[in-house]
Each structure stands twice: as structure tokens, then as C-alpha cells.
Amino acid sequence: MKPGPWTCRRRAPLKRSRILHMALMGASDPSGEAEASKEKPFLLRALQITLVVSLYWVTSISMVFLNKYLLDSPSLQLDTPIFVTFYQCLVTTLLCKSLSILAACCPGAMDFPTLRLDLRVTRSVLPLSVVFIGMITFNNLCLKYVGVAFYNVGRSLTTVFNVLLSYLLLKQTTSFYALLTCGIIIGGFWLGVDQEGAEGTLSWTGTIFGVLASLCVSLNAIYTKKVLPAVDGSIWRLTFYNNVNACVLFLPLFLLLGELQTLRDFSQLGSAHFWGMMTLGGLFGFAIGYVTGLQIKFTSPLTHNVSGTTKACAQTVLAVLYYEETKSFLWWTSNMMVLGGSSAYTWVRGWEMKKIQEEPSPKEDEKSSMGV
């Protein structure tokens, strides 16, 4: 007798080691895969994918350039990276709450979870929020001190940290080919640092922040997997609680680092243009989570990684053209090594996961040998 739909939905809780493994290695839980959608005409699917990927590219690239303007623009001269990051978290929190209220008032118009602040859930999400704060703060500090063109190389070690943490936390070994791609990424990173130094544009401060951002991105993936059950698996609830915690935790940092006095002395504090750009940065920060999920939904995690790598290449070229910079052949080689190594790692991991899925289990082999 076939199990009913309720039976199909019931799943055994994941072990912590399995959760960490999925987070670090980019794998998904087979039991949590959604059912395949109905077949759509090829042209319609191609158009949808093109639009979604384009939306992801535009949102991601625009957010990087806008954040660079807010963090390090000569026209603004505003040295308050913590406040900029805090304000973007505040905008995301208010947007989540507004959409929740709108969905409750117009249930047929849109689908958004009900958001009510629960202190128990807030405490459960707190460890992730600390990592999340580190991730977005180090990202913005890296972008403040390095150019947009070098930004992707400066924070390119996330894949390397994924492999390192998978070994330290799970004792999970990595294949030779995957390690080889990590070696290419590390080589590209060091060559990029060397070439930035040769051109006189290297910021060790920004580079260190980039490395710390890469570490936090890797840790964020681990803690996200661990904390999701506390918010019923809802990414939007997790986003809401994460940003609420971040807003609270950023306030003492904002005061301790003296940014309040810097903000008081800021000449454009009453400018509508300034607050408009700040709010737009917050909107892009909110939107990037949505369009990332949308791209994965309409393509696949593997395609999303490839799209992100290609987007990084386009972003680097645009930055060099926009800021009218001249880069050496070896500088471009470092970028190609980082992007090529990241793409190769994604392909190797995808190939290995596919190979594991295609291999018959021992029970199936036993049944085949018995002629069952």
C-alpha cells in the first residue's frame, strides 16, 4: 500500500553531523527536495531563467557599487561603516514586518509568513546572528578599503574555508581534484595580492577583512542549517530574526567606535539624496536574498554558483572600466585563477554528488545478486 501524503511529509530529524556536512559541502537533503514542477514549454522556461539570472546580476552588481559609494565615496566622505551596515539591517527588518502585515491584511494578494517577535526564537538565532554580523560587517569593511575590481579576489577564500571546516568539524576528507581547485584559488588570491602591491593599490587592512568575511560566509552556511528548525524552516523568518538581533547588537558597536559623533558632524546628514541612497542600499540588501533564492528555484544550486562566478567576472570588468583603471596581465591572470578555480570546484563537487547518487546502494546490489 502506498503511503499517504501525510506519511510522505514526515521525516526523521537530521543529525548535527549531517547538517554540517550539507552546509559545508553544498549538498541538499534528498528528503527535502520539492516535487518536480509540471513541464513548461522550452521558450517559456528559457525566458524565465534569463529574466531571473538577469535580475540576480543587476541586483548583486548594483548593491556592490552602491555600497562602495556609501562606504568610500569622496563626495560623501562618511567614515561610518558600522552605521551604514546597521541601517541596511534596519531597512530589511522593517520591510519584512511590512510585508508580513500586508500579507495578513490581503491573504490572497501575496504569500509571506506571519512575523511575531518571540524572545525564545531570538535567543536560538543569536549564535547565527553573531556570525551574520561578522559576515556583513567584514564584507563592507573589505569593500571600503579595497577597490571593487579587487573585491572578489579579496574575499575569494570561502570555498577554501568550506573545505577546511569540513575537515576540522566533520573529519570529512576532500577529493584530490577538489583540493587542486582550492590550490588554484589560493594561488590566484596570492597573485592578486602581489599584483595589487606591485601597482601600489594594496590595502592589507581590506585584504584581512576580506579573509575574515570569507570565513564568516562559510560559518554562516553552517549555522543557517542548524538554526533553520527554530524558525520552522522559513528563510524569511530567519532573515527577520537575524536582522532584529543585528540591529540590537550593532548599537553598542556604533557607540563604542565613535561613529555617533562622526555622524553628527556629517555635512549631508539632512540631505534627502543621502538618505535615499542609504535606503536604496537597504532595499538591495533585502532583495539580494530574494533573487538568490529565486535563481536557485528556477535553475539549480550548481547553476547558481556558476552564475555567481560569471557575475563576479562581469563585475570586475565593469569596475575596471567605470573607475578607468589599468591592470597588468598578471593581475587579470589572478582574477581568472580565482574565478576558474571556483567554477572548477563547483563542477567537481557537482560531478561527485551525481556519481554518489548514481551508485547503487549495498542493499540494491544484494537484491540484484539474489534476482529480486
Tens digit of each residue's pLDDT (9 = 90 or more) over 18-59: 544 444 444 444 444 444 444 568 788 888 888 989 999 999
> Can you tell me the mean pLDDT for 180-187?
94
Quick: pLDDT tens for 125-139: 999 999 999 999 999
Q: Whole-prediction pTM value?
A: 0.80
Residues 6+ apart with CB under 8 A from 172: 21, 24, 25, 166
Does residue 7 surpass a pLDDT of 80? no
Residue 349, number of CB atoms within 10 A of its CB = 23
Please give the Cα distance from 310 to 239 (Å, whole number).
26
Please give the Cα distance from 100 to 112 (Å, whole number).
6
> Can you tell me the mean pLDDT for 334-350?
89
